[in-house]
Amino acid sequence: MQERLHTHAVIFTKAENFLTISSNYYVANAGEPLSCPPLMEDIRADVCIIGAGFTGLGVALELLERGFTIVVLEAKTIGFGASGRSGGQIASGYSNGMIETEKKLGPALARRLWDFSELSKEILYARLENHQIACDLGKGELYATPRKSHERWLLDEKEHCESKYEYGGYKWIETEQLRSLLAGQRYRSALYDQEGGHLQPLKYTHGLAKAVLQKGGRIFEHSAALDIEQGSSVRIRTEKANIIADSVVLAGNAYLSEFDLGQRKRFIPVQSSILATEPMEQDRAAEIMKTTACICDTYHDLDYFKMTPDHRLVYGGQDLSFGRKEPQDNQIRRNMLKTFPMLQDLKIDYFWNGKIAANPLRLPDVGRVGSNIYYIQGYSGQGVTLSAGISHIVAEAIQGEMERFDIFGKIPHKDIPLPSFLHKPAVYSMLLWHRIKDLL
């Protein structure tokens, strides 16, 4: 049970070579898309960043503020991956919860990681304010318990974070109060994180990209990095041109599996899905949820959801269904109706799915290959918050300040002893086992 907290799935479309308005609510809701040209001529930069999402754009912004020249390569479009499709949750701590993190790493390293997660929230909220990024920011996150046995675990987490880390952001919600906030009878209590929240991820990504461009950074879309030639300077080859850079940052997470410089064997892509309903009348939406918080339950096979400003329910979770998935007939909709059976009549306007990079420790994997290639991967569902802090410390490392970067080198990540063709069966088997345990 200790591995349930904060496990938010990050979403990609099934067809990875395009992103359509009809499949992803965030695309339809984000306004006029940014448009950057493809790379057509050889250029030189201090740092080349591969991936125009939360992490890559965050690193670019941090380095530009330190005076570096920056180029960002994006194989598709800005925010094409998880950064334009996730649940958008802003959480405290890590996916395991802090009790389990401390068991795995010891109290000293767990404390440093907790402090870093708190810094990540500060950096994230400061970016939104400093760059005036309008991204439908909502305050608060609720961890809802479907069973009494889950309550003890959450209460232990609350007490642990209060006593060990002096955290005052958690508040316990009893059944009666929860019933006043959420319709339905599925959940009996909740832990409320007052410092958590949620945002529209593609609007946030576009806001970061605009800030990068305003500060003189260069972003090239439809410019996949095809090869990296290591050396004192690094050559990055694209279809039309090359980039020579002093340093490279691999910031594509699960979408950079083709670059195996030793780091690829430490994560497995995990599938998940998300939907958005048609808009509800304002009064009906208020009956369903009388809170601006996002919600995540405590099942291993977890569900998470929130209400949008235009009164749609966005609902996501693990999806073990095989074959074709129709918007009106899929596992996620069936899960939604377990939570809100009164929404049976609602049409599903959007449905999309995809993968995250998860590792056995379910902690970020941040490191360096040689002296000048940096990689960030394995957020395990915590990318919105942690990408803000990690982009900051990677920029520090490139500048020569290694103290906080080296914290992540102390996490004992190990290679996954499975060939890649067995990753998907292994993940499905694990998720199925967790679902059985939830049922039991």
Q: What is the CATH number of domain 25-420?
A: 3.50.50.60
User: 332: which DSSP letter?
Assistant: H
Contact between 250 and 375 (Cβ < 8 Å):
yes
Ramachandran quadrant class, 291 (left: phi over 0; alpha: psi -120 to 50; beta: rest): beta
Q: In this predicted model, what pLDDT tens digit does every residue of 277-287 receive, in sequence order?
A: 999 999 999 99
What contacts 416, CB < 8 A, 6 or more positions away?
265, 266, 267, 268, 359, 360, 423
User: In this model, does residue 272 exceed pLDDT 90?
Assistant: no
Residue ranges covered by each domain of the chain: 25-420
Please state the rounded mean pLDDT for residues 47-67.
Answer: 98
Give dist(CA 398, CA 46) in Å, integer. 10
Which tokens is 214 given? 């305003």
**Taken in order 173, 176, 182, 186, is the CA torsion positive or negative?**
positive
Strand partners, 273: 317, 353
Strands 43-50 and 242-250 turn out to be parallel
Of the candidates 208, 201, 212, 220, the one whose C-alpha atom is nearest the C-alpha of residue 75 is 220
pLDDT confidence of residue 13? 35
Contact between 323 and 169 (Cβ < 8 Å):
no
Please state the rounded mean pLDDT for residues 166-175.
Answer: 97
Contact between 85 and 274 (Cβ < 8 Å):
yes
Question: Position 346: which residue type?
Answer: L
Q: In this predicted model, what pLDDT tens digit does every residue of 344-401 receive, in sequence order?
A: 999 999 998 767 777 788 899 999 999 999 999 988 888 999 999 999 999 999 999 9
Of the candidates 276, 318, 4, the one whose C-alpha atom is nearest the C-alpha of residue 153 is 4
Give dist(CA 183, CA 241) in Å, integer. 55
Distance of CA 307 to the CA centre of its chain: 18
Q: In this predicted model, what pLDDT tens digit does every residue of 307-358 receive, in sequence order?
A: 999 999 999 987 666 555 678 888 899 999 999 999 999 999 999 876 777 7
Give dist(CA 34, CA 74) in Å, integer. 13
pLDDT confidence of residue 265? 72
Which tokens is 74 given? 């994006």
Q: In this predicted model, what pLDDT tens digit does every residue of 133-152 receive, in sequence order?
A: 999 999 999 999 998 888 99
Please state the rounded mean pLDDT for residues 181-209.
Answer: 97
**Does the predicted TM-score (pTM) go above 0.75?**
yes
- Cα 109–82–403 angle (5° rounding)? 25
| Residue 258's pLDDT band (cuts 50, 70, 90) | low
DSSP calls for 6-49: T-------SSTT---TTT-HHHHHS-SPP--PPP-S-EEEEEEE
Strand partners, 144: 190, 297
Give dist(CA 275, CA 297) in Å, integer. 17
Of 185 and 300, the structure prediction assigns the larger pLDDT to 185
- CA-CA-CA-CA torsion for 51, 54, 304, 357, nearest 10 degrees? 40
